[in-house]
Amino acid sequence: MIVPTFFTKGFSRTSLQKEFKLPLVLNDDKDIKLLFFGYSGCADICTPRMQDISTLYKSLNSETTKRVGLEFLDISTPDDETLPNRFANFFNEDFKGIYLDKNTLRDYTKVFSVYFSKSLMDKTEYDHTANLYLIKRSKNKKEIRYIYNSYPYNLHQIKLDIEELLHE
């Protein structure tokens, strides 16, 4: 079920309940995940967004952070499989960076409607979707519940959305 996108002063989010069965996301004890697709070393798009997500995460109380995590999924399939995790940990040691091989990356980008391609101007960079996804796990199912598709993020609204999902 997709609910219309909400727009308020430069902020938009889409509310939906889309179940998916991919293995990597929510494969730990966290009930709620923030999910971001980007690439390690992305300075213009990923770095400011990851800093803001870290600010949000630090504002959550300790009980909430036990149930909420962040996964950064690297679209670049780097040669060094540890690079995504090191990139995510730079922003917060609790964040997870996940390496995806090309086939798994294709599956994830299809489910999450993520666009990416090598930049025409600089082949070491990527043009990509910069959405933030809020995922909920319940009763052995995983659902995309919100997509935040504009920047800067409304951190207050995301925090309210997390609290709402934790109390469902």
> Domain for residue 1, yes or no?
no
Residue ranges of the annotated binding site for Cu cation are 42, 46, 128
> Domain for residue 41, yes or no?
yes
**What is the total count of domains within the chain?**
1
> Domain for residue 45, yes or no?
yes
Q: Can you tell me whether residue 165 is helix, strand or coil?
A: helix
> Domain for residue 155, yes or no?
yes
We report the CATH number of the domain holding residue 145 as: 3.40.30.10
C-alpha to C-alpha distance for 119 and 152, rounded to whole angstroms: 23
> Domain for residue 95, yes or no?
yes
The model's confidence at residue 2, banded by pLDDT at 50, 70 and 90, is: very low
If you ran DSSP here, which 8-state letter would residue 113 be given?
T
C-alpha to C-alpha distance for 130 and 151, rounded to whole angstroms: 9
Contact of 131 with 114, CB cutoff 8 Å = yes
- pTM score over 0.75: yes
Residue 87 sits in which domain range?
Answer: 6-166
pLDDT tens readout for residues 20-79: 776 666 567 789 999 999 999 899 999 999 999 999 999 999 999 999 999 999 999 889
